[in-house]
Amino acid sequence: MYLFKHSHHLHIKTMISNVEDTYHFNEIMTLLHQHSSTVQKPLVSREKWEVIQKTPFTVLISCLLSLRTKDEVTEDASIRLLGRYDTAEKIVALSEEEIQELIYPVGFYKTKAKRIKEISQTIIDVYNGTVPKDFTKLLSLKGVGRKTANIVMVYGFDDPSHIPIDTHCHRIPNRIGWIHTKTPEETELQLLRILPKQYWTDFNHLFVQFGQTICTPLSPHCSICPISQYCKKTQVTKHR
């Protein structure tokens, strides 16, 4: 019996290390870290959190502004709005038109102005002016999807038990061959299952940065890609 238990234990250990060998998580994440240290962050993102006080509320609003909007435009709009109006109380004191003017030209600025005001009002009415530290409650705020709620949990509340998934975080693990998923939500659930916990916190920023520089959407730079040897290049038809 002892022997059986022992070999069973060994068997599970071997299975786990085989899984890690198949996926090469450690090698890939280490290489992405190295790549990240060679890429200079855009000036704007270095400046943003120096001007704006980083709180769950400012992370939430900045994330809403970023949807379907270029980083530089989001950064400038965040600084204009949140540099002066960084709490729900201060935002509700503004008219929708004033918010629109401050955040223009972010994508869908009219809808976003309306949502930002509504969300701020809900935070005051339902949560006493404080962003709830609760994924489900965040998700129930109008206009807040899984990506935004996860970002607020990770970057607003420093809670490492979530993986925010944007377009890069969905596309690249599918190309590598870690997962085979159709939607970002499926990707999130699969990654929570297979990716060892120690990689969760860094996953989002490393993959976003990698997706903006090397593994770009239309024609990825496979010839200079540091993780090329571990990548199955699933559904990559055109590359450089």
* CB-nearer residue toward ligand SF4: 212 or 228: 228
Show Cβ contacts of residue 202 under 8 Å, excluding neighbours closer than 6 positions: 29, 33
Closest CA to 154 of 193, 129, 188, 118: 188
Among 50, 131, 236, 238, binds ligand SF4 (CB under 6 A): 236
Closest CA to 77 of 119, 44, 43: 44
Q: Is 215 a residue that touches ligand SF4 (CB under 6 A)?
A: yes
Show Cβ contacts of residue 69 under 8 Å, excluding neighbours closer than 6 positions: 77, 106, 107
CA distance linking residue 187 with residue 166, whole number of Å:
10
Among 13, 70, 110, 221, binds ligand SF4 (CB under 6 A): 221
In order of 58, 63, 80, the CA distances from 105 in angstroms are 19, 15, 12
* CB-nearer residue toward ligand SF4: 55 or 228: 228
Region binding ligand SF4 by CB under 6 A among candidate stretches 15-23, 146-154, 161-169, 231-239 = 231-239
Among 175, 195, 204, 207, binds ligand SF4 (CB under 6 A): 175
Residue whose structure tokens are 């008219």? 95
**Residue 214 gets which letter from DSSP?**
T
Region binding ligand SF4 by CB under 6 A among candidate stretches 76-84, 125-133, 195-203, 221-229 = 221-229
Residue whose structure tokens are 């090698």? 27
Q: Going residue by residue from 34 to 73, which x/- string records binding to ligand SF4, judged by CB under 6 A?
A: ----------------------------------------
Region binding ligand SF4 by CB under 6 A among candidate stretches 46-54, 60-68, 78-86, 168-176 = 168-176
* CB-nearer residue toward ligand SF4: 169 or 176: 176
* CB-nearer residue toward ligand SF4: 137 or 233: 233
Q: Is 227 a residue that touches ligand SF4 (CB under 6 A)?
A: yes
Q: What is the number of other CB atoms lying within 10 angstroms of the CB of residue 78?
A: 26
Residues in the site for ligand SF4, rule: CB under 6 A? 172, 175-176, 214-215, 220-222, 225, 227-228, 231, 233, 236, 239
